[in-house]
Amino acid sequence: MKYHLITLGCQMNISDSERVSAVLEKMGYQKTDNEEEANILGILACSVRQKPIDKVYNKIARWNRWKNKRNLITFVSGCVLPADKEKFLKTFDFIFPMSELAAFPDMIREYGIVTPAGLKAPQPVMPKNEHIVDLWHIQPKYQSTYEAFVPIQNGCDKFCTFCAVPYTRGREVSRPSGEILEEVRHLVNQGYKSITLLGQNVNSYGLDKNGEEITFAELLRLIGEYGKQSGQEFWVYFTSPHPQDMTREVIEVVASYNCLAKQIHLPMQSGDERVLIKMNRRHSMDKYRKIVADIRELIPQATLFTDIIVGFTSESEPEFQNTVAAMHEFKFNMAYIAMYSPRPGAASYRWENEVQQDEKKRRFHELSEVMKIHTREYNQSLLSKTLRILVNGTDRKTGFSTGLTEGKISVRLDRRYDSLNGQIVDVKITGVADFSVSGEKVQTPALPKNERELVREK
């Protein structure tokens, strides 16, 4: 018996899919990449944009045609809006929130039996998250042997007007810190080198518990202390933080421990105050500027990544130019730039989408060009330096190995080193491109932990 799982969207869905795989494999199902030979077909959906949702509709139409010829079970989970959920109820065999994953084996066993839930009882439309802790108790089947995602928080209370996540994942719920630390320790003991703490608002961790759970800064500190004691070299990242809840203390803690990676992903979304207000981002440019100043002061070697939306509903040219100015000001090492697309379920979906697609494309390209100036300038500064990189794959064009620095700068190596996949090695930077650098592996003796800072990239 085999299962085929399609995972759409963000790292949170990737993390969730590792737990779905664990549940199915515990039941005796084997994973297959060929959907035509699977007995169970599932999708972890993403509602951030329309395209992934269209894919879900296309897939289920195809799978339901196969049902005429063979026995199949289909399911959908992940981020699903209430309106889509209503339609999926008619086309999929199962639809359930991730918080009910632990009950999935029972659902499959009882397949075909109508549950006595009393269909007349009103069912809440908004997802309820209190059982999400059951999901976190499931030991995931990690897809990589050196890179892992650890969910620490689920849901969102922020209600940004461009986003539907509060309606698909429910309100913010924090995972117990003991479980998180246990999973991190387990991963480090297994030799994992890159561990990413995940949450829709990862740095809002603990705030939902009203003082009964430690804060995000305290959680990072405990991980940092463990990293110190372990004697292992590994890098812990977190994504995505919200500027509203970003404290100086978090940055101080990141600065204090070697295992806390010196890379910060801080979504800005827009560099214009009026657009930020319209997006209901709940932070000002002053606040954002203060956080970046703290990062530059306390972790000068840190790389800074961001997310930006161009062409948001009524964004004017001067407002867009404020984002361009912010790109020059903050000199991001990477910006994930998206052209605004209205998403059903988000508040902005009800507003007129005034910026034409061609104009959005122009803004996208203009901003990308500005980003390129600064990424190249930074990459140039790495030339001739020897950096620690995590080897993580091969370049499709050259077939040579690739890797990431601690700051998540892409590195292309001078040859293929299959045996080094998943290892952290020293690489001397010999070439520079807009969004990556190239280099050659060098032999250097292992450094004592307290000297590792010397080989960081700045």
Partner 1 sequence: MMTDVKQQIKIDESFYKVENIRKLTDNTISLSLPGSRFKYKAGQHISLGIHGNYQSREYSIYSGANDKNLEVLVKEVKDGYFSPKLSHLKPGDLVEVHGPFGKFFIDEKLIPNNKFVFIASGTGIAPFRSMVRTHANLDYTLIHGVRYSNEAYDKHEYAPGRHILCTTGDKNGNYHGRLTGYLNECSFAENTHFYLCGNSNMIFDALEILKEKGFDRDHIHCEVYF
Question: Contacts with partner 1 in 209-248 (CB under 8 A)?
Answer: 244
- Which is nearer to partner 1, 122 or 399 (by Cβ)? 122
Q: Which residues contact 293 (CB under 8 A, 6 or more apart)?
A: none
- Closer of 37 and 212 to partner 1 (Cβ): 212
For the record, the structure tokens of 61 come out as 């139409």
3-state SS class at 364: helix
- Identify the CA nearest to 379 among candidates 455, 438, 329, 299: 438
**Span of 83-91, 173-181, 221-229, 432-440 interacting with partner 1 by CB under 8 A:** 83-91
CB-nearer residue toward partner 1: 281 or 412: 281
Is the CB of 121 or the CB of 446 nearer to partner 1? 121
Is the Cβ–Cβ distance between 27 and 105 less than 8 Å? yes
CB of 218 to partner 1, least distance (A): 20
How many angstroms separate the CA atoms of 410 and 284, rounded?
A: 31
Query: Comparing C-alpha atoms, which of 214, 177, 211 is closest to residue 197?
Result: 177
Q: What is the 3-state secondary structure (H, E, C) of 211-222?
A: CCCCCHHHHHHH
Residue 126 CB, shortest distance to partner 1, in Å, is 5
CB of 371 to partner 1, least distance (A): 27
Q: Mapping DSSP to helix (H, G, I), strand (E, B) and coil, where does residue 126 land?
A: coil
C-alpha 237/C-alpha 264 separation (Å) is: 8
**Cβ distance to partner 1 smaller for residue 161 or 232:** 161
Which of 86, 110, 297, 453 forms a contact with partner 1 (CB under 8 A)? 86
> Is residue 273 within the footprint of partner 1 (CB under 8 A)?
yes
- Using CB under 8 A, pick the residue from 166, 227, 267, 311 that binds partner 1: 166
**For residues 84 and 406, which CB has a smaller minimum distance to partner 1 in the complex?**
84
Site for partner 1 in 280-319 (CB under 8 A): 280, 282, 284, 286-287
Strand order in the sheet with 2-7: 30-31, 2-7, 40-45, 73-78, 94-95
Q: Which CB sits closer to partner 1, 19 or 158?
A: 158
Q: How far is the CB of 270 from partner 1 (least distance, A)?
A: 13
Q: How far apart are alpha carbons 433 and 440 in whole angstroms?
A: 15
Does the protein bind partner 1 through residue 167 (CB under 8 A)? yes
Residue 277 C-beta: closest distance to partner 1, Å: 5
Residues in the interface with partner 1 (CB under 8 A) total 33
Q: Give residues with Cβ within 8 angstroms of 326, minimum separation 6.
A: 268, 271, 285
Stretch that binds partner 1, among 32-40, 301-309, 347-355, 381-389 (CB under 8 A): 347-355
Residues 122-161 that bind partner 1 (CB under 8 A): 122-126, 128, 157, 159, 161
By the rule CB under 8 A, 33 interacts with partner 1: no
- Alpha-carbon radius of gyration of the chain: 23
> How many angstroms separate the CA atoms of 15 and 237, rounded?
14
Strand partners, 147: 194
Secondary structure element (H or E) that encloses residue 254, with its range: helix 248-256
Q: Footprint of partner 1 on this chain (CB under 8 A)?
A: 82-83, 85-86, 118, 120-126, 128, 157, 159, 161, 166-167, 170-171, 244, 273-274, 277-278, 280, 282, 284, 286-287, 347-348, 350
